[in-house]
Amino acid sequence: MILLEDVSVRFDGVAALSDMTFEIEAGEQLAVIGTSGAGKSTLFRVLTRSVALGSGRVTIGGQDLYSLSRRRLNGLRRRIGTIYQAYNLVPQLSAGVNASLGEVGGMGSLRTLRAFLTGPDAGLSERVRAALEEIGLADKAGVRTADLSGGQQQRVAVARLLVQRPDLILADEPFAAVDPVTTERVLETLLHLNSEGATLVLNLHDVEIARRFPRVVALREGRVVFDGPSERLTEDELASIYAGDPSREESARNPDPPFARHGNEGAIRLTEGRDGVSSH
């Protein structure tokens, strides 16, 4: 379980998070929404201890995150998988080697160095090959990630997660720069990892995707302004959450049709009960 208690973060005197308190159960699916600058990315930085706290306490798995020694913190971080809009790949390395970096947490220093120095598609483990196969890039294992499309690069980042098999996945705007087909495929893979026990927390710009999750937390000006089941996320609630956000207001006036929601292939639906979103 993850527990945030009265967490506050300030940058240059400006509050990024203010007195934030909520918990995330192990194995939960959680969507975090809010305007740009609401504190969503700062929240993710707190959960990886990548930013200093002004006040408050963060507990992960019963451990006080900000009291851990450097060694124990590194051990905890190896169990956290991250995926970002910017992909965080090494462009000069092949897709296969980038995916294999998900194994780094379990490697010694010599093997880690070798992972960076080996040529394209050299010595990839079966787990890496299986991950690339699962996300549909088995034929791109030896291609430099710099030569891949944005959608393909995002899938390589997901393959890295498949190799890592983390306990906690933090996905920060993972669909912002990819097409609808890639969005469906990436979401399906993240849900697969969740079904195997990983806690899944997504920072989302797309409210329609957030509605598919059993629980939504909304931030505004660094504070939690909504925390509950997605079915309670009414238009009135959204109007309050996104008040003054021109992109959201434009979206409300000219809504885009939901992506890939017809037919059965690749569709994602919200199941009843605690299991949350599942792919079918």
Q: What is the pLDDT of the chain when averaged over all its residues?
A: 83
Residue 28 CA to residue 216 CA, distance in Å, equals: 11
Q: Are 167 and 197 in contact (CB under 8 A)?
A: yes
Predicted TM-score (pTM) of this structure: 0.80
Q: What is the SS3 assignment for 17?
A: strand
| pLDDT above 50 (res 33) | yes
* E strand spans, the chain: 2-11, 14-24, 29-34, 55-60, 63-64, 80-84, 168-172, 199-203, 215-220, 223-229, 268-270, 277-279
CA atoms of 7 and 53, how far apart (whole Å): 7
pLDDT in tens, 170-213: 998 888 777 888 889 889 989 999 999 999 999 998 999 999 99
Type of residue at 170:
L
Residue 100, SS3?
Answer: helix
Strand-pair partners of 224? 219
Question: Binning pLDDT at 50, 70 and 90, where does residue 127 land?
Answer: confident
Q: Are strands 14-24 and 2-11 parallel, antiparallel or unpaired?
A: antiparallel
pLDDT at res. 186: 86
* CA proximity to 153, closest of 82, 85, 87, 99: 87
